[in-house]
Amino acid sequence: MRVKTVTRNRAVAALPITLAIAVSLAAAPLHAQQSEVSEGQGSATEFYGPPISPAIYLVNFLILYMVNPREAADMPAYKAPIPKAVVACLEQNPNGCPYAAFVHLFEQQTSRDRTVPPNKCFWPVECQLERHFVRLAPHRARRGKQINKPLGMKRAAQLAQVLGIDDSMILTEKQYRCLIGTPGNRTTDQQTFFQCIRQLTNSKGNAAIPLSSYGLYVNDEGDVRSVCAPNAPCLDVNALLLGPFEQIALECGFLHKFLRLLNQTPLLRLIPGGFACQDTHKPACIIETNCVGN
């Protein structure tokens, strides 16, 4: 009984993890001797939403694949830089900017036929992660048709296998529906989870306005925002996971699966770096990278 109690307490202690933001279980980010990122001196800058940064992307993927592999398959396969005019607006208005005013800039990128020359962008120091993890995160889109392209079931399954996920961790359809509810009959908590998942998976074929490669979404008011902007649904998931999530998991019958996810995948190793990366860039929740090779 003592072992079961300790294990269960570990699960409760680890619950502060949002589906979009990795919440810290340690004070400092991960720093690796062999890192894919550095502070470097770049010749240009590119901006991304935190969900595209390696640690947060992989944390989101691990949790979403547990929740429903089909959802994880709709995460972005590539990253794309946010147009700088959009960045300037969001830095002044973190709660959102009218998408209609910037739609032409996004369309210019997605309709581009020519291949963009390769470059290398360096995440800021607080977003550093080991090279072998960085390689698993989305690479920069080099053609317009790659922007907002979903990961797909085959690549999602391959990534899940590399990260240590097995079938014993995946929610059944009944458990998944228990978590997100059904249309027109969702509780407030279920609606929060549902909206957060939609914002992380707004790729082509799964969203009216796909912006997943940018780490952005468009809300019901027509404003483009970062997924971790102030009062975004994915931030509201924080409060749920700090309290009601344990009861939700018990009622829905998947707490033991979440424990397996914690124990058998690198989730706990990725959380600190993800938190540091996101938390440093409040409130607009946009990350600036330095790039070379343009």
Q: pLDDT tens digit string along 231-263?
A: 898 888 766 766 677 788 889 999 999 889 989
Q: What is the DSSP letter of 127?
A: G
The H or E element that residue 274 is part of is helix 267-279
Phi-psi region of 212 (alpha: psi -120 to 50; beta: other; left: phi over 0): alpha
> Per-residue pLDDT tens for 110-165?
998 888 877 788 999 999 888 999 999 999 999 999 999 999 999 999 999 999 99
Indicate the domain borders of the chain: 2-15+23-292
For the entire predicted model, the pTM comes to 0.85
Residue range 30-43, pLDDT digits in tens:
443 333 333 334 35
Using the CB atoms, write b or e for 204-230: b if 16+ within 10 Å.
bebbeebbbbbbbbbbeeebbbbbbbe
Tokens of 190: 């279920």
Q: Looking at residues 48-71, what average pLDDT do you find?
A: 94
**So what's the pLDDT on residue 278?**
82
φ/ψ region of 282 (left if φ > 0, alpha if ψ in -120 to 50, else beta) reads beta
Residue 242: the pLDDT is 62
Q: pLDDT value at position 243?
A: 67
**Rounded distance, CA 136 to CA 140, Å?**
12
Percent of the chain with pLDDT over 90: 63
pLDDT band for position 72 (cuts 50, 70, 90): very high
Q: Read off the amino acid at residue 234.
A: C
Give residue 239's pLDDT.
Answer: 67
